[in-house]
Chain A
Amino acid sequence: MIEFKLPSLGADMDEGTLLEWRVKPGDAVKKGQVIAVVDTAKAAVDIECWQDGTIVELLAEVGQKMPVGTVMATLLEAGEKSLPSLPASLPQGERGGSQLPSPLAGEGLRERGNAPAQRRMISPAARKHAAEKGVDLDSLTGSGPHGAVILADVETAAAQGAAAASRPAVAATTEVPSAEKGAARIAAMRQAIATAMARSKREIPHYYVSEDIPLARALAWLQTANSQRSMAERLLPAVLLLKAVAVTLRGYPELNGWWRDGSFVTAERSNPGVAISLRQGGLIAPALLDAGSKPLTQLMQELTDLVQRARAGSLRSSELTDGTITVTNLGDQGTQTVFGVIYPPQVALVGFGRIVERPWAEDGGLKVLPVVTASLAADHRVSDGHRGALFLRELAELLQHPEELDKEAS
């Protein structure tokens, strides 16, 4: 018997509220399958199962607020026989080994499509919109693939509902609570960020290095590549930078992983968490899994999807737990330099400022080139400034060969 506990979804998350079960007792579940949706201070998170099994009992109730580590359900391992005499809820303890979802449970990305037929498929955007508008999802007929309820269905239902109801009364009763809820969510998000960042500054001895990287070649390469692509397939410089970080990290395992229980654990792959600012304030840094081995086109699609879902408040648990480093990119509206605060239990953060044309001295001459300042904040318990500096120099060198970054698999 396995106890499925509410996993920690990051240093800034210590409790969650169960919004929905996606499984019922008797269901076979696969590793990476979404079994529940839990609301946190930052987003509604699709909780993925970390191994194959069969659901025995659902212990957590919808609407229940629970701390990380709460046993939410019990499962039988594949091949394990049901033991009716066994109490359904085992005492809290070391049973079942690590209760964290396995790192790199990237299968979740693909498992989604072949979910059991009996499960109602509702897009995260639809769910969020329905909650905001008070639309009953059970009453809707889905018009998406395989009968999935999509945002348009909810919008139609919300519009019909609003038209049918007497307007002034509805507006008065629904808008006030939703604004209050929004304010409460922003306050919770600020508190979550405060907790994680205070812990980081208290526990992690940060050191910082930075390097100006000329991007003339990278941007020229990107311009040529984009001129041959349709608008929907165009690449942003951010994708090139992310891939370059992930590839360079291969030679610097001491920057890629987690500080856990007093020692450093190197991650096998690099899953850069992408800091995404949210429109209502605050930020979240879900991971792009195994970014180093993915072609740029795929990374761009995944980044677009990640930003959209982060802003819609719908992410998967593996995306919040599997980040091995954070990349913050201020983009073209930002300042030239950013020094970040490491997101525990990670041990490093790479920051990119705005790309700007600057005077650049080279080979005894002076040119004007697009340049980005890359910075590294890293954990001195694990690495030293010398290695951190080498990492940035190697990153700068790799970005002079952008074509290398577009190899299908490297």
Chain B
Amino acid sequence: MTQADIRAVVLATLQSIAPEVETDALSGDRPLRNQVDLDSMDWLNFLLGLNKQLKVEIPEADYRKLVTLDDVVAYLQAKVG
């Protein structure tokens, strides 16, 4: 999968959790949860959605690496290979 493919999956998953989000307006290098109102349950569901679609296991210990949209995409790409 290309980086663009992964980014598309991430944004689609985000939108399924927070339908009001305008994905074009998101900055990739700012903390995602400062831009989108995601509570801990939303966050878990977001990661779970990524887990289902990309078959990537995301240990809880790795949550701290996933701050910005770019972080999430890079993390997933490294895992998907």
Measured between beta carbons, the chain B residues less than 8 angstroms from A279 are 18-20, 37
**Residues in B lying within 8 Å of A, measured CB to CB:** 18-20, 33, 37-41, 44-45, 47-48, 51, 57-61
Kindly state the separation between the CA atoms of A231 and B57 in the bound complex, as whole angstroms.
7
Please, how many angstroms separate the alpha-carbon atoms of A304 and B49 in the complex?
A: 14
Determine the chain A residues whose CB is within 8 A of the CB of B33 once the complex forms.
333
Contact at B48–A232, with CB atoms within 8 Å?
yes
A340 to B44, CA, bound (A): 26
**Partner of A331 from B19, B39, B59, B60 at Cβ < 8 Å:** B39
Contact (Cβ within 8 A) B41 A236: yes
Q: Interface size for chain A: under 10, 10 to 19, 20 to 34, or 35 or more residues?
A: 10 to 19
Find residues 208-231 in chain A having any chain B CB closer than 8 Å to their own CB: 223, 226-227, 231
Q: List chain A residues, Cβ under 8 A from B51.
A: 231-232
A-B contact pairs, 9 of them (CB 8 A): A223-B60, A227-B61, A231-B47, A231-B58, A234-B60, A236-B41, A238-B41, A279-B37, A280-B20
Across-interface contacts of A226 in B (CB, < 8 A): 60
Known: A232-B48, A234-B44, A279-B19. Contact between A227 and B60, CB under 8 A?
Answer: yes
Contact B40 A237 (CB under 8 A): yes
Q: A236-B40, A333-B33, A333-B39 are in contact. List 4 more A-B contacts (CB 8 A).
A: A231-B57, A234-B60, A238-B41, A277-B39
Q: Which residue of B lies closest to A333 (CB)?
A: B39
Check A333/B37 contact, CB under 8 A, given A223-B60, A231-B48, A231-B57: yes
Chain A nearest CB: distance from B27 CB in Å? 18
Shortest CB distance A369–B (Å):
18
Residues of B within 8 A of A237 (CB): 40
With the chains together, A231 CA to B47 CA distance in Å? 8
**In the bound complex, how far is the Cα of B41 from the Cα of A271, in angstroms?**
20
| Inter-subunit contact B40/A332 (CB<8 Å) | yes
Interface of A is mostly: helix
Cα distance, A303 to B41, chains bound together (Å): 9
Q: Which residues of A contact B (CB under 8 A)?
A: 223, 226-227, 231-232, 234, 236-238, 277, 279-280, 303-304, 307, 331-333
Cα A307 to Cα B17 with chains together (Å)? 12
Is there contact, CB below 8 Å, between B60 and A307? Answer: no
CA distance A146 to B36 in the complex (A): 38
* A275: min CB distance to chain B, Å: 11
Given A231-B58, A333-B33, also A304-B41 (CB < 8 A): yes
Contacts of B59 in A (CB 8 A): 227
A222 closest partner in B (C-beta)? B60
Bound Cα distance from A226 to B62, whole angstroms: 13
Q: How far is the CB of B45 from chain A (nearest CB, A)?
A: 8
Contact B41 A307, beta carbon cutoff 8 Å = yes
Determine the distance from Cα of A46 to Cα of B16 in the docked complex, in whole angstroms: 24
Task: For B19, give the chain A residue with the smallest CB separation.
Answer: A279
Task: Name the distance in Å between A127's Cβ and chain B's nearest Cβ.
Answer: 17
A259 to chain B, nearest CB (A): 30
CB distance from A2 to the nearest CB of B (A): 39
Complex alpha-carbon distance, A234 and B58, angstroms: 11
State the CA gap A376–B20 with chains docked (Å).
33
How far apart are B49's CB and chain A's nearest CB, in angstroms?
10
| Min C-beta distance of B24 to chain A, whole Å | 19
Q: How far is the CB of A244 from chain B (nearest CB, A)?
A: 17
Give Cα A227 to B62, complex, Å. Answer: 11
Task: State the Cβ distance, A221 to closest chain B Cβ, in Å.
Answer: 13
Q: Is the CB of A333 within 8 A of B60?
A: no
CA of A303 to CA of B57, assembled, Å: 22
Complex: A307 Cα to B38 Cα, angstroms: 13
For the complex, give the distance between the alpha carbons of A115 and B41 in Å. 31
Q: A333-B37, A333-B39 are in contact. Are A236 and B44 (CB under 8 A)?
A: yes
* Minimum CB–CB distance for A230 against chain B, Å: 8
- By a CB distance below 8 angstroms, the chain A residues around B18 are 279
A237–B40 alpha-carbon span in the complex (Å): 9
The interface residues of chain B lying within 8 Å CB-to-CB of A333 are: 33, 37-39
| Of A231, A277, A303, A331, most B-chain CB atoms within 10 Å | A231
A226-B45 Cα distance, complex, nearest whole Å: 15
Which residues of chain A come closer than 8 Å to B40, judged between CB atoms?
Answer: 236-238, 331-332
- Expressed in whole angstroms, the Cα–Cα distance for A304 and B45 within the complex equals 9
Q: In the assembled complex, how far is the CB of residue B31 from the closest CB belonging to chain A, in whole angstroms?
A: 11
Determine if A332 and B19 form an interchain contact, defined as CB atoms under 8 angstroms apart.
no
Nearest Cβ on chain B to A387's Cβ, whole angstroms: 31
CA distance A237 to B19 in the complex (A): 25
